[in-house]
Structure 1
Amino acid sequence: MTTLNELRISSNKDELDIDMVHAFLSQETPWAKGMPRETLERAIAGSLCVGGYVGGRQVAFARVVTDHATFAYLCDVFVLPSYRGKGYAHALLAQLFASESLQGLRRIMLATTDAHHVYRPHGFKALSNPGLFMEVHNPDVYRGA
């Protein structure tokens, strides 16, 4: 049985298992289904990322898009299914939010359909005024890519 003490978290992008991250995101998630690898590589290059590792194998990932001053958007958070329920997502988020780049921001946002319980302990709550927010949303952007 793997424990939380066995998890190593790193923000070194050179350590990321891009093949695994891409396979999981593009095949297993509804928000990035079909994402081309090149798109993921560009996204990682322009983001603050952390990977979670157990026994030298990457088992978790999270990415934040930020201007490092006022705003951040948390996205692409996952823990591989066989490693869930061990507190790895919470540990990954705690280390990510401790990053100097995310201190003093006015707003950090995310979108989730079913993992509210993962994010609430980190201060996330429903939008206080949803009418302020608008979006351009193209859910089929990767179809045919």
Structure 2
Amino acid sequence: MYDLDDDPSRIDADAVWAFLSTEAYWGRWRTREQFETQLRGAWRVVGAYESATGTQVGFARALSDGVGLAYLADVFVLPSARGHGLGKALVHHMIDNGPGPHLRWMLHTADAHGLYAGFGFATPDQTYLERPGTPPGISPPA
């Protein structure tokens, strides 16, 4: 059994950092200090916890202006807790059970298109442009 909670004070930063810094293909370039800055600056965070022990097994972070736009980031479930619908539960709790179900949500993913399609995420149309970022220490494209 698992619990979801959007209380930022409950987030186990060490557990989240342990996963993001070693397993997350999307952000292993970050330093611990950069991660801490992102965590403090998040508009909203949601953690997934084992009910019996309170151990954190999943995480999601969002950035938003709280009015029109939101960006979903750093969604993960530890391998030991996968297969119980926690990924879907985290995304649902973040998007639909909080202050932002009316927002235009954005995200980047290389491997979870099916999960996010179930929440209405789709390939952007011709009106969407993006300037890709470059991790620190890497030269931007010319």
Does the residue aligned with 2:99 lie in a helix, a strand or coil? Answer: helix
Match of 1:26 among 21, 24, 29: 21
1:108 to 105, 109, 125: 105
Runs of 4+ in 1 over 3 A off after TM superposition: none
Unpaired segments of 5 or more residues in structure 1? 1-5
**TM-score when normalising by structure 2:** 0.87
Indicate yes or no: 2:133 matched with 1:137: yes
TM-aligned CA distance change 1:10 to 1:100, over 3 Å: closer
What amino acid does structure 2 have at the position aligned with 1:121?
A: G
What does 1:111-130 align with in structure 2 at a 5 Å threshold? 111-129=108-126
Identity rate, percent: 36
Is 1:43 the counterpart of 2:38? The answer is yes
**How many correspondences in the alignment?**
135
**1:41 and 1:135, CA in 2 relative to 1: closer, same or farther beyond 3 A?**
same
- 2:4 maps to a residue whose letter is I
- 8 A contact 1:36–1:142 mirrored in 2: no
Q: What's the secondary structure of 1:72's corresponding residue?
A: strand
Aligned equivalents of 1:31, 1:13: Cα separation in 2: 22
Q: Distance in 2 between matches of 1:132 and 1:141?
A: 25
Alpha-carbon distance in structure 1 between the residues aligned to 2:117 and 2:32? 31
Higher relative contact order at CA 8 Å, sep ≥6: structure 1 or structure 2? 1
**Normalising to structure 1: TM-score of the pair?**
0.86
More helix by share: 1
